[in-house]
Structure 1
Amino acid sequence: MRRPTAHRRRNLGLLAGGCAVTVAIAGCSSSSGSGENAGKSGKVVDGATFSMALNSDPGNLDPQGSAANNVLQIAALAYDSLVSTSAKGRIQPQLASKWKVSGRTVSLTLNSGITCSDGSAFTAAQAADNINYVGNPKNKSPLVGAFLPAGATAKSAGSTVTITLPGPAPFILNGLASVPMVCAKGMANRKSLAKSTDGTGPYQLDRAQPNSSYVFSKRSGYTWGPAGAKTATSGMPAKIDLKVITNETTAANLMLSGQLNAGTFIGPDITRLQAAKLYSVSTATIIGETWYNHAASSPTSDPKVRQALSMATDNKQLQKVLTSGRGSGPTSFAVAPPVACRGNSVSAALPKFDLAKAKSLLEADGWVAGSDGYRRKGGKQLSVRFLYSTTFGTAGSSAAELTAAQWKKLGVKVSMKGQETTTLLSTIFSTGNWDIGWVPLNVNSPDQLIGFMSGPSAPKGNNFAGIDNATYRAEVAKAQSMSGAAGCKHWLSAESSLVKAADVIPWANQKRLTFGKGATFELIGVLQPTSIRMVS
């Protein structure tokens, strides 16, 4: 696998604190509120500041240069998409008031009076410029292939933008709901987007302090939000402060003391937050997912090595450790609601835990155990570089240590390294210095994963693991020839082929909880700014 350039760093979302590839690829969660502040039980408060914890610094803020969850969250504040997705999966207006999909052509008519944060008008011509930028593979946007097909082009006429697709795209409107539109100045100067925002969204960035805080102020006159949401609505915060807090326990303490209004949690701190009867929103997510590097230089390019490593892993035990007993078994690769294809593509395809069989498989493949217990083939030791995210705290490190111990019993030498999210993604995309990575991607539509499971390896594409699975490609082709959910049988079959080949192994799902104190809100992929209501 070719090494990716620095431009492609952080281009997918880890679960940790958000919906990852929402890629959180966006649109990955629906919400239901519960607790003391649920519904209309509190009096709304105007002019307040809403403080929310981010589990890591987002890095470059260009909304079309990353699909990392924290970048998606910032994009939701400062940018709009052409259409939006409701919590139930219904496509609804945002910048566009109406749309039509006809074969490989998508036409969208924009609302009138849309303005950018600097007061300039946002036009259909600018929307076309955005589509042409993201759809051009030369620009290496991680959104291409996930939310917009590579090679998609657009043109405008009056208030209408018309998108021409290079091939079938059964969930194209769902994808467009996750493509932020950048205003003219930002499009002309991409570097300016790294530390500032230039969008039509309900909030604009006032102050950026990397690794500390990102403060936004509410725009007046905003009337084109999801389904016509407006910033004049009573209870919307005057300011939003996204605080970078990498430790869940610290974030929980701040929640309970009233210094935070929102935070997402997956670890043991959930127990005391629930005991405090706080408002909460739950999201279905994949929390445990193992990726193997298929680069020729990696031992995991050998399918028998991947199979053996997978068979030597007790996934049920790992699931209990990582989720503190709150998790469940995997079902499919797209579990975040609103789910496009329901079914179970994983359970029957998972390699069964069998250490003896795993050892026999390696023996037959020429990997012989030496006097030190480690296996060698042709004089080369079987050793792997294993990456996991520190965002999962002690539960994550305990699960990683258990995994490494199981692989050691198999005769594999494991170099284990925990990294915070931004660094881990940089390692995976920019260096190639890894063999096995725990990288949970969360999406609601299986087509959003095509670029990660097939196609060009980085830097030419998002296929960071270099997967080349003929059955997957064939089943995807069949699914794409059908309309929407009609192709779900083939989408699920495509996913099964990845598990059977031990290309990617999902092994744990969990309900992720976002708690609120002094505020209520809705999550659809990320927290929706126009849904926030500050309450007394």
Structure 2
Amino acid sequence: MTPIRTRALTALALALTGSAGLTACGGDGSDSAAPSAAGYADGKTFTIDVSSDPGALDPQGSVVSTLYGMTQFAYDNLVATGKDGTILPQLAKSWTVEGTTVTFTIKDGVTCSDGTPFTAQTVVDNITYVENPDNKSPFLGVFIPAGATATASGSTVTVKLAAPAPFVLNSFASLPMVCDGGMKNRASLKAGVSGTGPYVLTEAVPSDHYTYEVRKGYTWGPGGATTAETGMPARVIFKVVANETTSANELLAGTINAVQIVGPDADRLAKAGLKSADTQAVIGEQWYNHADGHATADPAVRMALTQGVDLKQLQVALTSGKGLPATQLAALPPAACTGDAVTGNVPSFDAAAAGAALDAAGWAKGPDGIRVKDGKKLSLTLIYPNSLGTGGGAAAELAVAAWKAVGIEVKATQQTQTEASGVVFGTGAWDIVWLPLAVSTPDQVMPFVSGPAAPKGTNFSAIDNPDYLAAATKAMKANGAEGCKDWFAAEQALYKAADMVPFANSPIPTFLKGATLDVIGSIVPTSIRMLG
């Protein structure tokens, strides 16, 4: 996949926290019953199934969650986010934030996978690359504020922000740093790596598997983590397996060590006694294409699509009965803001009101029950990623039937994460998409719901909501969580206008066999331990 402007959280995170949405930072899960070092084994291979191919491997070219998760193995960030939200040292040993000036002091002795040193100037080159709109990096405006500039002096990087950024360190905790070799030869990153991470890619077979080998002498991981710990896998293999049932069977048979399962197979694995590292995420978000030429550009159509389906039932179907109603967009733990911005602000289920809204907008029912306006049928497309599991298909069937009852014809199509990303950020050939953002700070949501529309920007739905922008702009001037009230007001403006609708939260389990690990947004590579 060529780098498209997929500015994430990860999140779109098109994958849940590593499996079904756009990814950013955050998330917290671990195996609480991990054994002591005496129970670990060295020299083993850790194999994990992923639901779709990552596409091109450039770590700054896409935020498809499969790629984001794999990126953590070969690349590092300046800082990391701990389980409790604490900012930890990674490539940077220290930092300061004073107004619109941020400084990072880079650790001594950090080397790239090709043996060359990683320097402060390398950081500056990365920031300059992402900030250049010609490079169409999805990280611009999400993991690094637009308009930032950077300079290097010795081991210190000074970043000048164009405006206050309330969660700037959280953002830099998700910006992977590319080494000089990759910066000079960007094409080499499509199927290779050039990073400082704990592993290096040794084999890439697209749509089949990717193999990484551990790096000796790695000592600059999150909080000082190293690859010298007992039980660290010598090799990591990502296998591309689209079918959840197949992956569940492989885990039970012991041919793999980990897989995220969001559908009914999760019950089977839990009943078999397999442990899991879980994290909470928003997995149900309904987005509408506001761009000209789409029926969903009509506010009456968006309102009818929102009121015409029972979102509670949609939540139950999507999460196989295990989920909860959504409460906010930036919900990935450790979330910067906590509370409920959704309840009471999303238009409630009312099929009669949905029909009345369409009547008033001139969409009249035709002889087949499907509405027509100016000779054009109200016929739409719904895209949902295969990473939503079997629950995605069940929820899609429910929604299609509900919309047909109010006179809207919808064709639902399941796609891989990479395919869906290409459509929503590239061709624009969609009307409705279920695409969860896996983000933990509300400022990371902002580029997805305001600003330039795709393909020039990250605002893939082409949303233009002045009330959202006014509240978000006010929140951006506050210091961190002090702006949460305004961030919630901004989100509520989106929901009340039916510009987009979050409808389901769910625990996302990474089931394990023969290994333990932590999940903080995605799997933490240096936390993996193989059992003896």
Deviation larger for 188-197 or 372-381: 372-381
Residue 241, structure 1, aligned to residue 259, structure 2: no
Unaligned runs of 5+ in 2: none
Query: C-alpha distance in 1, partners of 2:494/2:432?
Result: 15
Query: C-alpha distance in 2, partners of 1:20/1:310?
Result: 27
Query: C-alpha distance in 2, partners of 1:326/1:418?
Result: 22
Query: C-alpha distance in 2, partners of 1:142/1:16?
Result: 13
What do the CA deviations read for 1:386-420 (whole angstroms, capped 9, x no partner)?
11123333321121011111111111122222212
Query: C-alpha distance in 2, partners of 1:359/1:134?
Result: 46
1:31 to 29, 32, 46: 29
Query: C-alpha distance in 2, partners of 1:228/1:176?
Result: 17
Determine the structure 1 residue equivalent to 2:426: 430
Which residue identity is paired with 1:89? G
Task: After TM superposition, give the deviation of residue 38 of structure 1 in Å.
Answer: 2.9
Residue 451, structure 1, aligned to residue 447, structure 2: yes
Determine the structure 2 residue equivalent to 1:205: 201
Mapped contact 2:20–2:436 kept (Cα < 8 A): no
1:184 to 180, 183, 197: 180
2:308 to 312, 317, 323: 312
Matches within 5 A, 1:33-432: 33-34=31-32, 38-40=34-36, 43-432=39-428
Mapped contact 1:279–1:517 kept (Cα < 8 A): yes
Task: After TM superposition, give the deviation of residue 32 of structure 1 in Å.
Answer: 3.3
1:489 to 485, 492, 495: 485
Task: After TM superposition, give the deviation of residue 42 of structure 1 in Å.
Answer: 6.8
Deviation larger for 268-277 or 16-25: 16-25
Task: After TM superposition, give the deviation of residue 323 of structure 1 in Å.
Answer: 1.2
Unaligned runs of 5+ in 1: none
Deviation larger for 412-421 or 246-255: 412-421
Query: C-alpha distance in 1, partners of 2:308/2:203?
Result: 49
1:527 to 506, 509, 523: 523
Sort the Cα spacing of 1:81 and 1:247 in 2 relative to 1 into closer, same or farther, 3 A: same
Sort the Cα spacing of 1:345 and 1:240 in 2 relative to 1 into closer, same or farther, 3 A: same
Sort the Cα spacing of 1:167 and 1:26 in 2 relative to 1 into closer, same or farther, 3 A: same
Q: How many residues align?
A: 530
Which residue identity is paired with 1:160? T
Mapped contact 1:23–1:442 kept (Cα < 8 A): yes
TM-score by length of 2: 0.97
Query: C-alpha distance in 1, partners of 2:213/2:117?
Result: 19
Query: C-alpha distance in 2, partners of 1:135/1:343?
Result: 32
Sort the Cα spacing of 1:158 and 1:96 in 2 relative to 1 into closer, same or farther, 3 A: same
SS in structure 2 at match of 1:348? coil
Task: After TM superposition, give the deviation of residue 39 of structure 1 in Å.
Answer: 4.2
Query: C-alpha distance in 2, partners of 1:382/1:23?
Result: 28
Which residue identity is paired with 2:339? G
Query: Percent identity at matched positions?
Result: 49
Query: C-alpha distance in 2, partners of 1:328/1:431?
Result: 33
SS in structure 1 at match of 2:93? strand
Task: After TM superposition, give the deviation of residue 522 of structure 1 in Å.
Answer: 0.5
Query: C-alpha distance in 2, partners of 1:23/1:82?
Result: 24
Mapped contact 2:287–2:433 kept (Cα < 8 A): yes
Deviation larger for 220-229 or 13-22: 13-22
What do the CA deviations read for 1:58-99 (whole angstroms, capped 9, x no partner)?
001000001111111121000000011101100010000000
Query: C-alpha distance in 1, partners of 2:488/2:465?
Result: 14
What do the CA deviations read for 1:342-377 (whole angstroms, capped 9, x no partner)?
011111111111111111111111111122211112
Query: C-alpha distance in 2, partners of 1:239/1:177?
Result: 25
Determine the structure 2 residue equivalent to 1:505: 501
What do the CA deviations read for 1:149-183 (whole angstroms, capped 9, x no partner)?
11211110000011111111000000000000000
SS in structure 2 at match of 1:100? strand
TM-score by length of 1: 0.96
Query: C-alpha distance in 2, partners of 1:535/1:20?
Result: 23
